[in-house]
Structure 1
Amino acid sequence: MSNLKKLAGQTAIYGLSSILGRSINFLLIIIYTAYLDTAALGAFTGIYALIGFLNIVFTYGMETAFFRFSTGKNLNPQTVYRSTQTLLILSTLTLGTGVYLAAPWLAQVMDYPGKAYLFRWTALILSFDAILAIPFAKLRLDNKAFDFAGAKLINILLNVFFNLFFIVWLPELASSGQINPTGFGLNENWGVEYILLSNLLANGLIIPYVWWRAGFFGFGLEKSILGPMWNYSLPLLFMGLAGVTNELVSRLLFEYVLPENYYPGLSSREAAGVFGANFKLAILMNLVIQAFKYAAEPFFFKQSTDKNSPELYAKVMHAFVLFCSILMIAISVNLFWIGPLFLKGTVYSEGFFIVPVLLMGYLLLGVYFNLSIWFKVTDQTKYSFWITLAGAVVSVLVIWFLVPVWGYMGGALSTLTCYLVMTGLCYFYGQKFYPIPYQTSKGLIYLICAFGLSYLGFYLNLESEILNFMLKNFLILIFLGLILVLDKNQIKALFVRRSPR
């Protein structure tokens, strides 16, 4: 139980900072939907999907490899840190230069003619992210959760400040004649440009602080370490590429697959903006998963040598499913006021009905992360590629065939089916190579009931606003009652203090 409490404590710190930071960052969606048109939001969605994809290439699985080898026997963690960071800096210089030089071609391919500068900024954002990856990982490995959380929060606050300045304040200053944007190479009519520029400035300014908190390093490459690390991380690179395809491909391809005039009054790019904005409403589930991952990944590796680790992993999975199922219901039944609060404009409400599907998709992604520990601690990372590739193929097929027919729901189902396939395959192979006593039947009951209650609450509407709110949220209590019935023995054990011997 002490291990679970430790993990819960670490997750709470990461989660609190992530939720606080993302809550601040989430306010940007209010700014974007209020000050930018839907076409600009569609552009923002597409470019950030590309950034998410290339981020995997720039780090090529070295974060997980760093955790694995830093906790290995007979290895100096500082040597692993120095070698990994040096390798990433060298590879980032090469990859970043390549993307920078390819900017005109990318602008043409992605239909942004004359805007190669967007992709030059993208190259710099990717480079800054890559050289921060291992220092952030070291903070997690060293249990410096507060330093990690503080750095992330500073980065987000900087990003929010620059967005406010460029998108809200600069046009007002320009219109009043107090400042001339063109004198600084800026344009008061920019939209997605300022989103990228704000990200670039915030990431660049945070580098010295993160390197200082993680500990500065001398450059050096230890060949005896890097060879095995590369063999371990290479399958994770392909897993990451397939995984980010699964996560972002729907947003990246949506506007190109959706027929023109599918939604009256909206172009395909504008509809992609609505689709991408509704993804943001599922952000709370993603935040929980991200916070859990920050804490759990180094925790899992440190516990892997304990003979009781399978039982511990099973307990962690069960607690994760319970918490995220409750969260999914709570968000879904309250979308009637959460949605309009954050997405300004009636056009965005047309996509609210896909949010429960997206929440379930993210929940399954979290389940997959729990399950994936088997191939990480057994060094069977080759399976990761095939599992995520299967998910990517399913995702693309669902988008290709269902988006032209079902629009927003087709895109949302691509996320759900992708992670469902990945979860099923990972569970099947994991139980063969590294059996873990998961409470599978009980977990499935919780997931199915939570999904059903989520949609019941979403579509349940009464004329009285007070009764509507009360009845919708009563569904959360029904689910809690189910937990009390199915897990009464475990819950009782939490509150019954053992008598001392």
Structure 2
Amino acid sequence: MSSLKKLAGQTAIYGLSSILGRSINFLLIILYTEFLSTESMGSFTSIYALVGFLNIIFTYGMETSFFRFSTGKNLDPNRVYNNTQSLLILTTLGLGSGLYLLAPSLSVWMDYPGQAYLFRWTALILSFDAILAIPFAKLRLDNKPIVFATAKLLNIFMNVGFNILLIAIFPKMIAEGIIPEGFLGYRSDWGVEYILLANLFANGLIIPFVWWKAGLFRFKLEKEIIQPMWNYSIPLLFMGLAGVTNELLSRFLFEYLLPDNFYSGMSSRESGGVFGANFKLAILMNLVVQAFKYAAEPFFFSKSNDKDSPQLYAKVMHAFIIFCTFLMVAISVNLFWVGPLFLRNEVYESGLFMVPMLLMGYLLLGIYFNLSIWFKITDQTKYSFWITLAGAVVTLLVIFLLVPKYGYIGGSLSTILCYLVMCILCFVYGQKFYPIPYQTGKDVFYLVFAFVLSYAGFFMDLGSPTLNLIGKNGLLIPFALILIFLEKETLKILKRKTS
């Protein structure tokens, strides 16, 4: 129980910083939907899907490899850090330069002719992210969640500040004659450009702070360390590519597969903006998954040699599912007022029905992260590739078959179905190679029940905002009662522990 408390405590710290930071960052959706066109939102959605995909290539699984070789291979963690960071800097220079040079071709391929600068800035953003990855990982390994959280928050505050300055404040100051048109090269016709520039400035400015807090490194490339880490991480690279395909490809391909005027009066790029904006509303579940991952990855590796670790992993999974299913219902039943609050244009609200599906997709992603511990601690990362490849195939099939016919529904289903397939495969193979006594029956029940309640609450309409607020949130009561009934033995144990 003390191990679970430690994990919960660190998850709370990571979660607080992530939720606070991302909540502030989340407010940007108000800024974007208020000040930018739906076409700019579509550009934002597709370009950042590309960023997510390329980010995996730039880091190629080295974060997980760093944790594995720093905790379970009897190596000096500082020595592993020096080698890992040195290797990433070298590869980042190569990949970043290549992408920078290919920017003109990429702008044409993605239908942004004459805007090669967008992809040059993207190359710089990706390069900054890559050389920050291992220092951030070292802060987690060194059990410095507060320093980690501080750095993340600083980065987010700067990003939000630059966004507000460039998208809202400068245009107002120009309109009121406070600053002249073209001040510092400012262009009023830019939209997604300022989102990228804000990200670029914020990432560049945070580098010195993170490197300082993580500790100086010595440039080293030792074959006896680099070679096994490379062998370990390459399967994770392919897992990451397939995984990000599952997570981001629907957003990237949506505008290219959806016919114009599929949704009346909107181009495919504008519809992609609506699709991407509603993805943002599912961010709370993603925040929980991300916060849990920050704390759980080093925790899982540190406990891998304990004889009771399978039981511990099962308890962690069960607690994760209980919390996330309750959160999923709570968000879904309140979308009737949360949606209009953050999506400042009625056109975006047409996609609100997607959000419960997207929440379930992110929840399944978190479950997959829990399940995937078996191939990470048994050094059988090759299975990760095949599992995530299967998910990627499902994603592509669903997107290509359903998006042209069903639009938003097809894109949302691709998220759920790919992670569901990955979870099933990971569970089956995991029980064969590294059995973990998961409470599978209860866990599946919570998932199905939460999904049903989420849509029951979403479609419920009692006629007035007050009645809807009471009635919809009242659906949390049966969920809580069933939870208390099914978990009564666990609650008794917790009560004895705390009394």
Residue 215 (structure 2) aligns with = 215
Residue 65 (structure 2) aligns with = 65
Which region of structure 1 is more displaced relative to structure 2, 372-381 or 67-76? 67-76
Residue 323 (structure 2) aligns with = 323
Measure the CA separation in 2 of the matches of 1:74 and 1:172: 59
Residues 19 and 284 of structure 1 are in contact (CA less than 8 Å); yes or no, is this contact kept in structure 2? yes
TM-score by length of 1: 0.98
Residue 195 (structure 2) aligns with = 195
Equivalent residue letter for 1:160: V
Measure the CA separation in 2 of the matches of 1:103 and 1:191: 19
Measure the CA separation in 2 of the matches of 1:80 and 1:42: 41
Instruction: Quote the offset at 1:474 in angstroms.
Output: 1.1
Equivalent residue letter for 2:174: A
Residue 355 (structure 1) aligns with = 355
Measure the CA separation in 1 of the matches of 2:74 and 2:462: 65
Equivalent residue letter for 2:300: F
Please give the per-residue CA displacement for 1:428-462, whole angstroms capped at 9, x wherever unaligned: 00000000000001100111000000000000110
Residue 430 (structure 1) aligns with = 430
Instruction: Quote the offset at 1:469 in angstroms.
Output: 1.1
Alignment of 1:135-174 (within 5 A): 135-174=135-174
1:477 pairs with 2:477: yes
Please give the per-residue CA displacement for 1:87-125, whole angstroms capped at 9, x wherever unaligned: 000000000000000000010000001000000000000
Alignment of 1:22-41 (within 5 A): 22-41=22-41
Alignment of 1:10-49 (within 5 A): 10-49=10-49
CA RMSD of aligned residues (A): 1.0
Alignment of 1:228-243 (within 5 A): 228-243=228-243
Equivalent residue letter for 2:15: G
Residues 66 and 84 of structure 1 are in contact (CA less than 8 Å); yes or no, is this contact kept in structure 2? yes
Please give the per-residue CA displacement for 1:156-201, whole angstroms capped at 9, x wherever unaligned: 0000110011001111222334334635333122100000000000
Residues 103 and 120 of structure 2 are in contact (CA less than 8 Å); yes or no, is this contact kept in structure 1? yes
TM-score by length of 2: 0.99
Instruction: Quote the offset at 1:498 in angstroms.
Output: 8.3
Q: 1:307 to 1:181 in 2, by over 3 A?
A: farther
Residue 338 (structure 1) aligns with = 338
Give the match's secondary structure for 1:111: coil
Measure the CA separation in 2 of the matches of 1:498 and 1:127: 48
Residue 278 (structure 2) aligns with = 278
Residue 263 (structure 2) aligns with = 263
Please give the per-residue CA displacement for 1:465-484, whole angstroms capped at 9, x wherever unaligned: 22221111111111111111
1:390 pairs with 2:390: yes
Equivalent residue letter for 1:77: P
Alignment of 1:110-125 (within 5 A): 110-125=110-125
Equivalent residue letter for 1:362: Y
Alignment of 1:296-315 (within 5 A): 296-315=296-315
Equivalent residue letter for 1:487: E
Alignment of 1:490-501 (within 5 A): 490-497=490-497
Measure the CA separation in 2 of the matches of 1:186 and 1:423: 48
Residues 72 and 301 of structure 2 are in contact (CA less than 8 Å); yes or no, is this contact kept in structure 1? no
Aligned length: 499
Measure the CA separation in 2 of the matches of 1:112 and 1:234: 32
Alignment of 1:345-424 (within 5 A): 345-424=345-424
Residues 55 and 126 of structure 1 are in contact (CA less than 8 Å); yes or no, is this contact kept in structure 2? yes
Equivalent residue letter for 1:146: I
Residue 107 (structure 1) aligns with = 107
Measure the CA separation in 2 of the matches of 1:321 and 1:175: 50
Equivalent residue letter for 2:113: P
Q: 1:9 to 1:181 in 2, by over 3 A?
A: farther
Moved over 4 A (4+): none
Measure the CA separation in 2 of the matches of 1:10 and 1:422: 27
Residues 334 and 458 of structure 1 are in contact (CA less than 8 Å); yes or no, is this contact kept in structure 2? yes
Percent identity reads 70
Give the match's secondary structure for 1:435: coil
Measure the CA separation in 2 of the matches of 1:392 and 1:38: 28
Equivalent residue letter for 1:407: G
Structure 2 unaligned residues grouped into runs of 5+: none
Equivalent residue letter for 2:285: M
Equivalent residue letter for 2:169: W
Residues 62 and 84 of structure 1 are in contact (CA less than 8 Å); yes or no, is this contact kept in structure 2? yes
Measure the CA separation in 1 of the matches of 2:162 and 2:194: 8
Which region of structure 1 is more displaced relative to structure 2, 480-489 or 372-381? 480-489
Measure the CA separation in 1 of the matches of 2:79 and 2:493: 44
